[in-house]
Amino acid sequence: MRHTEFWARMEAALGSAYARSWADQHVLAELDGRTVNEALAAGEEPKAVWRAVWAALGLPARER
């Protein structure tokens, strides 16, 4: 998954206005206590970060 697809999924799940804010503020245990932005900046694969977001938001299986 590329970063562009990751952000498209984030915006689809949270809305374009809220996705970036959520990614900057919410700390996820699945990302070793980091935010989405911190994990991506540290080099985590977008697909792995998406899986953590998907689980945290309780999104349907079809969006995994």
Q: What is the pLDDT of residues 28-45, one digit of tens each?
A: 999 999 999 999 999 999
Q: What is the dihedral of CA 57, 22, 49, 33, to 10 degrees?
A: -100
Predicted TM-score (pTM) of this structure: 0.90
Cβ neighbours for 39, distance < 8 A, ≥ 6 positions apart: 28, 31, 32, 49, 52
Total domain count, the chain:
1
Eight-state DSSP code of residue 28: E
pLDDT of residue 60: 82
User: What is the spatial distance between Cα 30 and Cα 4, in angstroms, rounded to a whole number?
Assistant: 21
Measuring CA to CA, which residue among 63, 11, 60 is closest to residue 36? 11
Domain that holds residue 53: 3-63
